[in-house]
Amino acid sequence: MAFLELRTEQYFLILMKAQEELFKGKDDQSLAPVMPKFEVKDLESLDGKYDTVVCLDVMIHYPQSKADGMIAHLASLAENRLILSFAPKTFYYDLLKRIGELFPGPSKATRAYLHAEADVERALQKAGWKIKKRGLIATQFYFAKLIEAVPA
């Protein structure tokens, strides 16, 4: 996938205006769908309004103090739905991260920030959103919480 080729320090976001684009310029006689428009942009340069905003594997680059602002910014861009993923801060994952930090070298410890689900939910509520669905993505070496939020 093209977005996986981005440099690690570049934060990416996939935004879509699916609902608007689907029937743009169509009347009742001609309801052939139009492909939605997808954009990949730097988080801080995002503007506009989108039906759905999807932010995957980005919050690991933000400490909680900055993640709250990022969530508020993303919520200001979305009109109907916000989908976020984040590395969950649990006792087990926090312990693994701390053990990894004991070993020197960039390949020995992750620099990913873990986030408590309660903190993410609180930031969403502060921005006027509520969680509609929750999920967990887990493989042998990857784990993330996935949430879908809607306006409160």
Confidence of residue 123 (pLDDT cuts 50, 70, 90): very high
| Cβ–Cβ under 8 Å, residues 59 and 84 | yes
Q: Identify which of 119, 152, 151, 123 has the alpha carbon closest to the alpha carbon of residue 53.
A: 151
The CATH number of the domain holding residue 118 is 3.40.50.150
**Domains of the chain: total:** 1
Q: Give the span between the Cα atoms of 18 and 59, in whole angstroms.
A: 24
Q: What is the DSSP string of 131-145?
A: EEEEEEEE-SS-EEE
Stronger pLDDT, 104 or 147, i.e. the higher one: 147
Mean pLDDT within 58-83:
91
Q: Is 57 left (phi over 0), alpha (psi -120 to 50) or beta?
A: left
Least confident of 37-46, 50-59, 101-110, 114-123: 101-110
Residue 1, SS3 per DSSP: coil
Q: Which stretch, 65-79, 90-104, 133-147, has highest mean pLDDT?
A: 65-79
For the question of whether the overall pTM of this predicted structure is more than 0.85, the answer is: no
Which residues constitute the domain of residue 104? 49-152
- Mean pLDDT (the chain) is 77
Q: Identify which of 36, 130, 16, 131 has the alpha carbon closest to the alpha carbon of residue 77.
A: 16
**What is the layout of strands, in order, in the sheet containing 129-138?**
38-41, 13-16, 50-55, 78-86, 143-151, 129-138
Q: Report yes or no on 94 lying in a domain.
A: yes
Q: Report yes or no on 106 lying in a domain.
A: yes
For residue 119, the surrounding DSSP H or E stretch is helix 117-126
Q: Which amino acid is at 95?
A: L
Q: Report yes or no on 5 lying in a domain.
A: no
Q: Report yes or no on 101 lying in a domain.
A: yes
